[in-house]
Chains A and B, each alone.
Chain A
């Protein structure tokens, strides 16, 4: 049994440099399920959830820098809930209070599940992830970090240190479909964030693609139908917008849902998010 409780990021770097096969443990809510079901038999583990700098967040210019071990609960309930509201909405839909009390934002990225609920929000916000190792730091975009189903570009000696999330002034939404309101793994989800200064809408999809994915055609299409002063959208644009959001998905059939339902649902979520942010106007 080889178990380490890291007390600093430098210690994590050297423990990984010494033996890159050591596994990182953050909140444990995914890790322990695999262990309990004998899908994982860890031989060496580094617990990083007591490293002070990973448990903090701070303002960083026009962004917030969130340590990888900040919990869902803190994002859901603390000051971050008004600074990055869609991230807080997504945090609140994850698991149960017991899970959110301990599960971390870095763990959600590291697990890299297509159903990871923070991933579409962070992608829509153009968040950057700082990856650390003994050789230094590198910054990557969400879709450069997560490359496929539970696949990341992390090297064995690297770990996720900080997630840098831009602060936007416009309304944001995160919506998710599942069989109940708690303890639900997303069937389809969607994040929409707006930037009234740049007059842009960003949309990212969850659970309907293998790797994180934006609905860029839908984003560009809807531009011409928005009135940013009145915060309205032309009702005539809605059917094509919904179709373009749905076409950005490439879902699979599995035990949670059919691909056809996921495609339909994500289009509905796109329209719903849009109409929560922009009031529908009839151009006559």
Chain B
């Protein structure tokens, strides 16, 4: 048996930084490790059953609920959290659109929604409303009623289409 696989610790690559995780309990979730061991509080802990999406992260570029990932099984995978969404202190296009559209109220669901929408717009830069609603169907927001969140996604999509020389036929 490979001894590394039986050790009590493991390493995680989070936002391009390698961390040694020790004093581990086998069942600990990636969300628990991110928040309680690495001090990355952007991923929120609410339902712990994958219902709310507020703990969403990217694992090897795939959007997942970090509460449903066994932390030890994230070894050797590239984890990106909301903390990595911007290179500096400036807002990303999606963050700015959230502010402009008034898509934030209490803010608890916002990190999960931002990472979800960034991921979604990369694969589908010009979505229709149904596609937007399906993409954010795993992120619960109890304040906004989603209308302004959908609007924020549309703002970014329109900006991207204009930025890439796409036609702006909505005027």
Within 8 A of B (CB), among A10-63: 25, 27-29, 31-33, 35-37, 40-45, 47, 49
In the complex, whether B6 has a CB less than 8 A from a CB of chain A is: yes
User: In the complex, which of the residues A3, A5, A33, A181 contacts B68, with contact meaning CB atoms closer than 8 Å?
Assistant: A33
Q: Which residues of B contact A183 (CB under 8 A)?
A: 51, 137-138
Contacts of A37 in B (CB 8 A): 48-49
**Cα distance A49–B138 in the bound complex, in angstroms:** 22
Q: Which residues of B contact A43 (CB under 8 A)?
A: 26
Q: How far is the CA of A32 from the CA of B10 in the complex (A)?
A: 19
Q: Does B128 contact A (CB under 8 A)?
A: no
Contact B73 A25 (CB under 8 A): yes
Task: Report yes or no: A97 in contact with B138, Cβ–Cβ below 8 A.
Answer: yes
Given contacts A33-B50, A99-B65, A25 and B70 within 8 Å (CB-CB): yes
For A40, the closest partner residue in chain B by CB is B27
A-B contacts, CB under 8 A, total: 106
Q: Which residues of A contact B25 (CB under 8 A)?
A: 1
- Least CB distance from B130 to A in Å reads 10
Q: How far is the CA of A181 from the CA of B27 in the complex (A)?
A: 31
- Is there a chain B Cβ closer than 8 Å to A264's Cβ? no
Which single residue of chain B is at the shortest CB-CB distance from A5? B5
Q: What A residues does B135 contact at CB under 8 A?
A: 97
Q: Which of B62, B70, B134 has the most CB of A within 10 A?
A: B70
B32 to chain A, nearest CB (A): 9
Residues in A whose Cβ lies below 8 Å from that of B116: 97-98
Docked Cα-Cα span, A98 to B52, in Å, equals 10
Interface residues of A (CB under 8 A from B): 1-5, 25, 27-29, 31-33, 35-37, 40-45, 47, 49, 95-99, 101-102, 181-183
Complex alpha-carbon distance, A44 and B62, angstroms: 26
Residues B64 and A98 in contact, CB atoms below 8 Å apart? yes
Pairwise interchain contact B70-A33, C-beta atoms closer than 8 A: no
B68 touches A96 (CB 8 A): no
Q: Which of A36, A41, A96 has the most CB of B within 10 A?
A: A96
> If A2-B26, A3-B73, A96-B53 touch, does A32 touch B138 (CB 8 Å cutoff)?
no
B63 at interface (Cβ–Cβ under 8 A)? yes
- Quick check: A182 and B62 within 8 Å, CB to CB? no
Flag whether B12 is at the interface (Cβ < 8 A): no
Given contacts A35-B27, A45-B70, A99-B65, contact A1 B8 (CB under 8 A): yes
Given contacts A32-B29, A36-B67, A43-B26, contact A98 B6 (CB under 8 A): no
